[in-house]
Amino acid sequence: MTIRPATSDDARGIATVKIASWREGYAHILPAEYLAALDLEKQERRFFEDIVAGGHFLVAEEHGAVAAFSLWQEFLAPNAVQTDWPHKNTVASLYVHPDFYRQGLGTALLRACANKALERGHEGMMIGVFRDNVRAKNFYLKLGAELFKAGWFAVDGIKYPEEILIFTRGSEIFLP
């Protein structure tokens, strides 16, 4: 496995990972019609534009192909984040292709995001997860995340319960 910054050439691989992981991981959360309609070309264009714009995407590569990716974001503008949030950065995306579950890719990407947060002077980071995505939530909790608060996340205009989790400097994900 290789973890590296994404390039615009990775946009299709990232889109493929996102669609496969959403269809697998969110099958019990999002409508089947929505998941079936996820469009590879549309997702690829979006990721291409985000990478070119300087988004901090990392990819985990296995056998020369994108197997997982993350997007770390920092909130620099004072109004870019809710005032009660203890950390001004987040893992906005973390997806592993279902063919590569349980191989350490998600943990490696989270650690790389934690290192980026520390490099930039943050004492922790945040991540949102669908409340009903028990698999992902348990993964984050196992790595030391704690529940910060509940909220809502909109997909295609429909709100779904979400939980905001925080990792602090003492949590396992920040350990070498």
Segment-wise mean pLDDT, segments of 10 residues, the chain, 176 residues = 95 98 96 96 96 95 94 77 78 95 95 92 93 95 94 92 93 79
In 53-159, which ranges are continuous DSSP H helix? 105-119, 134-142
Per-residue confidence (pLDDT) for residue 152, from 0 to 100? 93
In the chain, which ranges are continuous DSSP H helix? 11-25, 32-36, 40-52, 105-119, 134-142
Contact criterion met (CB below 8 Å) for 50 and 18: no
Per-residue confidence (pLDDT) for residue 166, from 0 to 100? 95
Q: What is the value of pTM for the model shown? A: 0.90
Residue 175 main-chain phi, psi, to 5 deg: -85, 150
Per-residue confidence (pLDDT) for residue 80, from 0 to 100? 61
Residue 21 parent element (H or E): helix 11-25
Residue 157 is given by DSSP the state T
d(CA 75, CA 90): 8
The CA-atom distances, in angstroms, between 139 and each of 11, 94, 101, 143, 172 are 26, 12, 11, 7, 12
Contact criterion met (CB below 8 Å) for 140 and 165: yes
